Amino acid sequence: MSERVNKRVQIIVVSAVTLLFTLICVLTFQIAINLNRNSQLNQLLAEQARLETQLRNAENAQYLMGSEDFIYYFALRELGWGRPGQVIFRR
C-alpha cells in the first residue's frame, strides 16, 4: 500500500512540476510579446506625431502660397515683375 501511495505522490509531483514549467514558459513568451507590442506601439505613435506635424506644415505652406502677399512677392522676386531698380523688402 505504501508503494501505491508513493507512486501517486510521484505522479502528482511530476504533473505539478510539468504544469509549473509550462506556465512559466507561457508567461515568459507572453511578457516578451507584450514588450514587443509596446515597442511597436511607441514607434507607431512617434511616426503618427511626425506625420501630423508634416501635415500641419503642408497645410500652412498651402495657406501661405494661396495668400495675396505670397503671390505678389513671388511675382516681384522670382518672375521679375517689379519695376526696374525697385528693391523689395519683406518683413
pLDDT digits (tens, 9 = 90+) for 41-90: 999 999 999 999 999 999 988 888 878 778 777 777 777 666 666 665 55
Q: At what angle do helices 2-66 and 68-77 cross, to 10 degrees?
A: 70
Parse the chain into domains and list their residue ranges. Answer: 2-77
Provide mean pLDDT across the span 30-45.
Answer: 97
* Residue 75 CB partners (closer than 8 Å, separation 6+): 81, 82
How is the chain split among helix, strand and coil, in percent rounded to 5? 80, 0, 20
Rounded CA separation 57/46 (Å):
17
* Residue 73 CB partners (closer than 8 Å, separation 6+): 88, 90
